[in-house]
Structure 1
């Protein structure tokens, strides 16, 4: 039995998650993912039938954990998941879609323009390249790297008290335990597993939330800059 590659209709819950103009943008983004996104290799053909439940809705519910009016950097944005979805569902936030590969940044730029998202920008580069140049309230990431590596990339981009929201699946607790030494060395303030999307996605999405503090290394860099 093979899976259908046709884009399914949006489920009823989508209109609860994407309200007003956000729903029209979500529909348009779904078609962009299913069309140019697949043609250019940003999304696998078999994922088209799961665009709503596995991708758009799964990313949109992360907005429950995002503070109001936050500046967000979506690390390794790829096809815009979750960063572009967050820009759609939360017009109060501003999102920087950080992606090193040209073909992906071209796709992301086309999406931002087509969807008329004034609260999103595309930046080509790697997290370590913009550390010290840009500071954000929130860093998001989905299927980019193990948590220990993700901490190295994301924490230098966050203000003191800023948050990393890493979308993780069944291995979230395992990755969190493995990242213990990095978390301690980074001097983070708080770490927790957050469940979002109850009653909207099945299963609910699991997010590792890390609140940044000043590590000894970061404090040293700060003093040197003064």
Structure 2
């Protein structure tokens, strides 16, 4: 590729990152309003640190230095806690969790790093439902990403079980657990979780998007097939 083509590709990737970050910031704004109502304004700001840092990085590499500095200032203001020795960094499990979610959105090469972020957060709070869900999802995706890697041992089954225990209403995780159980030859147990996910209307989209053809029983005990798209 020529230098011009490389430059154009880099610009395209940065624009894509900006779009993703803008969407993430919209989601964070909604969450921020919720936490403000619950009188957790500082927690909301801490969760924004990862997104603000990413914006600063993207705008710096796009040459938009004023915007990069504006986001750096946001980061610095939050990091000014008396007990925090760093100017642009803070150690807390919520930030590790947010970084994990951000990495999960950036493709398979980042799944290992995402898993490590959730793992670090769980060391502080092992029973946290969100940390557990993030770890299980990153483990499941990592299993799929490395399925052809020689010597790789899949490990997502136990994290998925733990995540379902801590998030009993999360249909998405139940679908992933059902698929992993099917992979391990435990179809009967997998059917149970798939049926539970189907019973929740908000979860049915996940079933149809992620499940491979999976045989389940309906309420009349008749066998039905759900033809679904694989990942």
Which TM-score applies when normalising by structure 1? 0.33
Higher relative contact order (CA 8 A, sep 6+): 1
Q: Which protein has the bigger strand share?
A: 1
TM-score by length of 2: 0.32
